[in-house]
Amino acid sequence: MNFSIAKRLAIPLLVALTPTVVLADFSNSQLQIHPQYPGNGPFIVEVSGTWPNDCHPGEQKPVVESFDGHKVVIRYEIVVVHVTCNDRETPYRTLVDMSGAVRETPPLGDTLDIEIDYQGAMLQRTVDLACPQEAGCESLAANLQKPETGLYNSPELTNQGLLLARQGAATGIFPLVYDASGANAWLFSGGQMVENTFFAEILRLSGGDCFGCPPTGAHPQMLPAGYISVLADRPGSLLVKVNDGLFTEYRTSVFGFATFRVGPAGERELVDLSGRWAISENQGTNPPLGDLTDFFPGAFVIELEDIVKANADIQQDGQVSYLVSDLSGNPLGQAVCKGQTDPTNNTNVCEYIDPTDAAQALFLFKQDGPSSMTIVYGRPLGTEGIEPRGKAIRLN
């Protein structure tokens, strides 16, 4: 066959065999910063959305390439290498810690230009650093998150954890770790929660007295050991970044409470809700629906009613049901926990059903941790206003 003829025949065949290339971009992405209006303080840039293939930026390391106080340029260091990319839409989330850049160069205006480049895909936005006068900034105080105190651990990191202590916005985090020689180290970071963020210097303490020993009058030293950045935007979870590392999730440690396996094949762990509870935060509009106290007393009791054990062999889902009553024993309703989760995070959701409608949950109980939960209205609001919502804490 003539070479030119073969070439003409091969070109359409080559085109037919060439896979379709999906051009990746940030068109389905959202950008926000935490806290919402940081002023000239530290903050975290969050970019999330759906990437058109599985080679997404969420698995790579974001790096602040430059920041002059007015504009930040962010690139990605490739830490996960793909031989090929599959044309499969993939949800992703990227957190960019700006605290280090802000320590060196504080923001110089009320707005910030953000440019993000991931392998040629560009995202450019301008965000407000100061609350615009027309935004009703007095409402920002409601954004303060109060992560549950106690122990946290990460499945990704063995032999270490965190202890979180909090009084109001004042927060202390004690990393429970070892030094290079394998001896336990006493580290501490203290500061204020600003909305759902925490930024602080890590201090290493040494030179004090031993446990149980007579006091010597020694003056412990506190030496800098780095910096910690925390985002607490999901119940029972802390996203923690140390120095130049990546954000790692820590979840509340459960001990002293019974747990049940719920959901399909029992793949979800539910902390037992049995006990006395009290409403600790209360919101809502009156009218139209009122607040939580129109539906619950200030304190109420949750008692275990029934357990259905998960059985993968017969495709039986795990489920736990509870009776909810006031302190005098008068029934209020039933809470049913089937293992479903909040669509925005990995939090267990239980449905609270009262006598007004057995088919539709009146409220949703969302476990923040072993000793706290968020309560949100579960039915369509139907009218203008803020639906009843709030938090409850375990009393025993």
For 193, the token pair is: 């929660």
Q: What is the mean pLDDT of the chain?
A: 86
pTM: 0.75
Closest CA to 227 of 287, 177, 187: 187
Which letter does DSSP use for residue 13 in this model?
H
Q: Give the pLDDT score at 21.
A: 40
Is the pLDDT at 143 greater than 90, yes or no?
no
Identity of the residue numbered 7: K
**What's the pLDDT tens digit per position in 330-379?**
999 999 998 887 766 667 889 999 988 888 899 999 988 888 898 999 88
**Cβ of 186: how many Cβ atoms within 10 Å?**
16
Query: In percent, how much of the chain has pLDDT > 70?
Result: 89
Structural domain boundaries of the chain? 29-132, 150-252, 259-394
Is the pLDDT at 124 greater than 50, yes or no?
yes
Q: Which fold has domain 259-394?
A: Lipocalin (2.40.128)
**What's the pLDDT tens digit per position in 223-273?**
999 999 999 988 778 999 999 999 999 988 888 888 888 887 777 888 899
Q: Give the pLDDT score at 289.
A: 78
What's the rounded mean pLDDT across residues 288-312? 88
What's the rounded mean pLDDT across residues 73-77? 96
C-alpha–C-alpha distance, residues 232 and 95, integer Å: 12
CA 254 to chain CA centroid, Å, is 18
